């Protein structure tokens, strides 16, 4: 009759625990990255819709737009980002897990809220990507 565990049995159990912990870290990291990706996409869509709505309603009697950098989006008041009223800027920064590319700014024209040009913004987290397009008619399309 034996009492206790052999060293082999202990190594196997510790190895299984380590493998399970390793997989948990990978799956958790992937899930967090996916949530950040979805959050950034939703925020960009929301900021574009708000800028278009502000332009149509004539908020502060001005046109509105959204400017993009690799890790941020800024909703601004004005015909262009260069000529904006910086006091009205609303900047949302994103972590380095997600990058934004494509159009650097989308400007909406009063009174109908159509963009100056049809534009596309690309969102990527290194594994997935999505495109948000503002059509010539002002519709915001997510693909």
13-47, pLDDT tens digit by residue? 999 999 999 888 877 777 777 788 999 999 999 99
In this model, does residue 81 exceed pLDDT 90?
yes
Q: CA–CA separation, 98 vs 110, rounded Å?
A: 32
Q: Quick one: pLDDT at residue 53?
A: 97
Report which of residues 5 and 66 the model is more confident about.
66
- Residues in a beta bridge with 142: 132
Q: Quick one: pLDDT at residue 34?
A: 75
Q: CA–CA separation, 131 vs 119, rounded Å?
A: 10
Q: Quick one: pLDDT at residue 28?
A: 76
């Amino acid at each position: 009759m034996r009492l206790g565990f052999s060293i082999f049995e202990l190594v196997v159990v510790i190895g299984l625990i380590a493998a399970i912990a390793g997989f948990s870290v990978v799956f958790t990291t992937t899930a967090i990255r996916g949530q950040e990706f979805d959050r950034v996409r939703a925020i960009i869509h929301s900021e574009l819709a708000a800028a278009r709505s502000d332009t149509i309603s004539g908020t502060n009697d001005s046109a509105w737009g959204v400017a993009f950098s690799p890790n941020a989006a800024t909703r601004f008041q004005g015909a262009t980002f260069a000529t904006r009223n910086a006091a009205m800027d609303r900047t949302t920064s994103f972590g380095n897990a997600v990058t934004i590319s494509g159009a650097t700014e989308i400007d909406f024209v009063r009174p109908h809220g159509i963009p100056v040009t049809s534009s596309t913004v690309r969102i990527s987290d290194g594994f997935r990507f999505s495109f948000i397009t503002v059509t010539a008619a002002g519709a915001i399309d997510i693909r």
